[in-house]
């Protein structure tokens, strides 16, 4: 029976579109569209990106793999053809999801990839289409789409169809405003179940945190990189499980990029000179050889910039995105004054330990 269903041509495309329509309808009836501040550019980018991915980029990558495979490795075509479906599904999905975890994580840690992924985080609202919001080149370089091509060439197409259906359902649901896990966290009987579930698959609470603007708004943009399974975040030390949702989404320093610049970078650049997508844009070094004294209030949180590129020193403005640097959250235990480090050499960051004086002495020695 399952084999017959999997024989339906383009089944995965129908099911993914069906999942999008389902989440779209639920979001609409839940009032999402009425409250939404999304622009036409947002819709064009997300829907356009979805259709370009399904009809151009994905088929192109599979075509390339078949051309190269038939030429270089013809003996491996249909290599997986006789595999048990469950074994083929596990083989395809686990490697696919691990590749995507590392690709996604790299897109947060390396500047060029960040520019291709940045638009995904510029969305100030979650929604069923947000998962498709990336530059075209981001998808062309995506290793797991090439992996899909390879597994198809090896004869694992049915495993891919089944895997894509499961995976896209998880990904669309984790980006949606339909927070199906929220009532589970609040119910003492269902809470243990969702706690187990979030340790296996990506839930909305887990992924929404990744889209939160910063730790100050309950987000964790430098964690929770997983796509279908949360196991990779747990294995590689980037998982943060908390049962609340961020209060704010998007980037700390939003810019005015057209959908064309966001989708077609680096072919099209942004006209906003403050954007990382603008021609020649580079983050400035904003470190200073002196501390900033700030009056802090008991219980208030402060996000200290560790990378030395924020334009709001000593605090983080999101300029660390696209690098391995992360800001440090400080919560004041009492009212008072705190000397925050600006040279970013302090061993007691976020607090000044006078490392800047050593730096100043060295500069003075050189001058004299």
Chain residues binding ligand FES by CB under 6 A are 305-307, 309-310, 316-320, 325, 327
Q: Which is nearer to ligand FES, 148 or 341 (CB)?
A: 341
Q: What share of the chain is helix, strand, coil (3-state, %, to 5)?
A: 50, 5, 45
For the CB of residue 323, give the shortest distance to ligand FES in the complex, in Å: 8
Neighbouring residues of 115: CB distance < 8 A, sequence distance ≥ 6? 135, 265, 266, 276, 277, 322
Q: Which is nearer to ligand FES, 258 or 325 (CB)?
A: 325
Q: Which is nearer to ligand FES, 164 or 251 (CB)?
A: 251
Q: Compute CA 39 distance to the chain's CA centroid, rounded to the nearest angstrom.
A: 21
Q: Which is nearer to ligand FES, 292 or 325 (CB)?
A: 325
Q: Which is nearer to ligand FES, 133 or 320 (CB)?
A: 320
For the CB of residue 266, give the shortest distance to ligand FES in the complex, in Å: 23
For the CB of residue 271, give the shortest distance to ligand FES in the complex, in Å: 24
For the CB of residue 123, give the shortest distance to ligand FES in the complex, in Å: 20
Instruction: Kindly state the tokens that stand for 80.
Output: 């997986």
For the CB of residue 251, give the shortest distance to ligand FES in the complex, in Å: 11
DSSP H stretches of helix in 123-230 = 136-140, 143-153, 157-175, 182-186, 191-197, 204-211
CB of 38 closer than 8 Å to CB of 125: yes
Q: Which is nearer to ligand FES, 134 or 342 (CB)?
A: 342
For the CB of residue 293, give the shortest distance to ligand FES in the complex, in Å: 19
How long is the chain? 368
For the CB of residue 316, give the shortest distance to ligand FES in the complex, in Å: 3
- SS3 letters for 319-340? CCCCCCCCCEEEECCCCEEEEE
Count the Cβ atoms, other than its own, within 10 Å of residue 77: 14
For the CB of residue 226, give the shortest distance to ligand FES in the complex, in Å: 23
Can you tell me the distance from the alpha carbon of 205 to that of 212, in angstroms, rounded to the nearest whole number?
11
Can you tell me the distance from the alpha carbon of 73 to that of 330, in angstroms, rounded to the nearest whole number?
56
Q: Which is nearer to ligand FES, 263 or 315 (CB)?
A: 315
Q: Which is nearer to ligand FES, 156 or 318 (CB)?
A: 318
φ, ψ (nearest 5 deg) of residue 206: -65, -45
DSSP helix/strand/coil, 28: helix
**Is residue 129 classed exposed, middle or buried when 0-12, 13-18 and 19+ CB atoms within 10 A define those classes?**
buried
For the CB of residue 335, give the shortest distance to ligand FES in the complex, in Å: 25
Distances, alpha carbon 102 to alpha carbons 18, 70, 105, 110, 205, in Å: 28, 29, 5, 12, 21
Pick the closest to residue 182 from 92, 244, 106 (CA basis).
244
Q: Which is nearer to ligand FES, 19 or 213 (CB)?
A: 213
């Amino acid at each position: 029976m399952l084999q017959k269903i999997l024989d339906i041509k383009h089944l995965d495309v129908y099911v993914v579109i069906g999942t999008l329509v389902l989440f779209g309808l639920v979001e609409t009836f839940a009032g999402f569209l009425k409250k939404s501040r999304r622009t036409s550019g947002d819709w064009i980018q997300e829907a356009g990106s979805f259709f370009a991915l399904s009809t151009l980029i994905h088929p192109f990558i599979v075509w390339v793999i078949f051309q190269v495979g038939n030429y270089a490795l013809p003996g491996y075509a249909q290599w997986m053809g006789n595999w048990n479906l469950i074994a083929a599904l596990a083989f395809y999905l686990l490697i696919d999801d691990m590749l995507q975890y590392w690709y996604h994580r790299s897109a947060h840690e390396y500047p060029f990839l960040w520019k291709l992924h940045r638009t995904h985080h510029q969305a100030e609202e979650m929604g069923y289409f947000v998962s498709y919001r990336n530059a075209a080149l981001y998808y062309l370089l995506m290793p797991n789409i090439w992996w899909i091509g390879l597994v198809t060439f090896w004869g694992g197409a049915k495993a891919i169809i089944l895997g894509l259906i499961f995976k896209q359902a998880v990904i669309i649901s984790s980006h949606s405003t339909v927070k199906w896990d929220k009532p589970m966290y609040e119910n003492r009987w269902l809470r243990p179940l969702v706690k187990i579930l979030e340790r296996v698959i990506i839930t909305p609470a887990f992924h929404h945190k990744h889209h939160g603007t910063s730790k100050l708004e309950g987000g964790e943009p430098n964690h929770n990189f997983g796509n279908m399974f949360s196991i990779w975040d747990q294995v590689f030390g980037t998982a943060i499980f908390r049962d609340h949702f961020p209060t704010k989404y998007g980037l700390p320093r939003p810019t005015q990029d057209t959908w064309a610049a966001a989708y077609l970078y680096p072919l099209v650049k942004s006209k906003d000179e403050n954007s990382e997508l603008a021609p020649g844009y580079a983050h400035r070094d904003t470190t200073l050889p002196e501390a900033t004294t700030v009056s802090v209030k008991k219980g208030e949180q402060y996000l200290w910039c560790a990378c030395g590129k924020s334009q709001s020193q000593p605090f983080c403005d999101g300029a660390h995105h696209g690098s391995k640097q992360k800001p440090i959250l400080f919560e004041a235990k009492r009212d008072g004054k705190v000397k925050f480090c600006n040279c970013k050499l302090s061993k007691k960051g976020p607090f000044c330990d006078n490392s800047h004086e050593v730096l100043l002495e060295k500069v003075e020695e050189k001058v004299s």
